[in-house]
Structure 1
């Protein structure tokens, strides 16, 4: 099973529980709002929301309240997406390096052996 998916599902279930405590049968009416909220939250690894990573921008919660909405050209959309994906990739690489550095601090250095040196060998995994 996928731990990230299970964790995301737990978060969504928790949000739904908070919203439907008074009327549990209304969960399906709240689901789209919970999904929007979940997709609007920035992820710590990228600093961007899932909307920003997939669409290249954060959609407004109430589009009808937006002042005159202009439809961007396909070229502008692709450019914005590329910038967003580049930023997400750079952030992921930084997080990966930081995580590796933190993990390496807790690792001991591997032993250095010299040709002909006698060493102990554990036979517990040898079959």
Structure 2
């Protein structure tokens, strides 16, 4: 290989300095890539925040539903207890009424028997 050929080979194979347009294009490409990554990061953060908001809302809804369910259960229990107490009071009242009726009937029966005995005694007294 002659000296000239070597010089030509070196000339064509040496790294060249990029010209102004290539440097500008490279800068723009780097800037575009940076902006693209930034957009992707922002989008990822936005999606993550949206998912987190949905999770928090779902959690709040579940808490509200649980509280509502517990409140409804307490209200049902209270109504059931009130009904049970009311039925018990009615049953007690009916039993007391039946007891009073039995006492009254017993007293009437005793009065009727005593009256019958008095009438019989009076009739025997007047007959003799």
Above 0.5 in TM-score?
no
**Higher relative contact order, structure no. (Cα contacts within 8 Å, ≥ 6 residues apart):** 1
Highest Rg: 1 or 2? 2
Higher relative helix content: 2
